[in-house]
Amino acid sequence: MIELDEVEGLVDPVVIAAFEGWNDAADAASSAVDHLMRVWNARVVGAIDPDEFYDFQVNRPLVGGDKSGHRRITWPGTTLAIASPPDLDRDIILMRGIEPNMKWRQFCAELLAACDDLGGQLVVTLGALLADTPHTRPIPVSGTATEPELVDRLKLEQSTYEGPTGIVGVLQDACARLDIPAVSYWAAVPHYVAQPPCPKATLALLGQLEDLLEASIPLGDLPEDARAWERGVDELAEEDEDVAEYVRSLEETRDTTELPEASGEAIAREFERYLKRRQAGE
């Protein structure tokens, strides 16, 4: 079991989780949780025992100096942190880690038991995958949920994917088996720029969280980082005609298959987020 620090009663906490590895193309999902931990001043309250779940020859520990100049080893693992965002009337439990190498079912059971001890009401998992999508267009984000009410409210779809899955899929399945409401958002990262980071995909995931939480999230430098990332990919594409032609073909496919009303809804949602952030800053 995960030993948790003493925590005062949390208010209707939502769990937001991401894991490095197979589920995390260009580190987009884990970067989203890292961003939330920074802007919400999250406090780590517990960590899972890494000896039980990680192969240290695959995920090696890191050695480095701490603030005092002492040499320390940091072990790979998964932590739980709590945050109380000022613009929300509920608390947040942030789960951040690395996809485990073994005992996945026990891993999920221990994490969900700790979330239950903290009073978690809803589990939101974030993921990112590589896809045939152009970097010049908004990053597509697909979403699924375990309960029909969530599917309807958030305008999601039940997943029809069949094939290999990662710890994010296993965790969501564990939630469904325990009747814990769960939502999963996946950002589609352009496969031809898979090298991390991808701030544009991270920003897209945060946008979905804003819709879910019905509140603005401080974005800091992320919007400018996303614009700089896109400009950088533009420059790379211009240097290689084959890549430029491929990007144009992806743009044509995206523009012809995307329904006008879907584009209009996306623009309207982004404008609503902008207004909420502006009001929050006033």
Q: What is the pLDDT of residue 272?
A: 63
pLDDT at site 143: 93
Give the pLDDT score at 273.
Answer: 61
Give the span between the Cα atoms of 78 and 96, in whole angstroms. Answer: 6
Domain segments of the chain as ranges = 14-281
Whether the per-residue pLDDT at 260 is higher than 60: the answer is no
Q: What percent of the chain has pLDDT over 70?
A: 90
Residue whose token pair is 């006008």: 260
Q: What is the pLDDT of residue 266?
A: 59
Nearest 10 degrees: Cα torsion 230, 233, 235, 241: -130
Binning pLDDT at 50, 70 and 90, where does residue 126 land? very high
Name 43's bridge partners.
82
Model confidence, pTM: 0.89
Q: Give the pLDDT score at 275.
A: 64
Q: How confident is the model at residue 263 (pLDDT cuts 50, 70, 90)?
A: low
In tens, the pLDDT along 150-183 reads 888 888 866 677 889 999 999 999 999 999 999 9
Is residue 278 predicted with pLDDT exceeding 80? no
How confident is the model over 219-234, as a mean pLDDT? 96
The CATH number of domain 14-281 is 3.40.50.10900 = yes
Q: Which pLDDT band, with edges at 50, 70 and 90, does 148 fall under?
A: confident
Rg (CA), the chain: 19
Tallying the residues shown for the chain, one arrives at 282
Q: Tell me: pLDDT of 47 over 70.
A: yes
pLDDT of residue 87: 85
**DSSP structure string for the chain:** -PPPPP-PPPSS-EEEEEEESTTBGGGHHHHHHHHHHHHTT-EEEEE--GGGT--TTTS--EEEE-TTS-EEEE----EEEEE--TT-SS-EEEEEEE--SS-HHHHHHHHHHHHHHTT--EEEEEEEEEES--TTSPPPEEEEESSHHHHHHHT-------S---HHHHHHHHHHHTT--EEEEEEEEEGGG-SSP-HHHHHHHHHHHHHHHTS----TTHHHHHHHHHHHHHHHHHH-HHHHHHHHHHHHHHHHHS-HHHHHHHHHHHHHHHHHHHHHH-
Percent of the chain with pLDDT over 90: 73
Instruction: From 229, 21, 17, select the one nearest 135 (Cα to Cα).
Output: 229
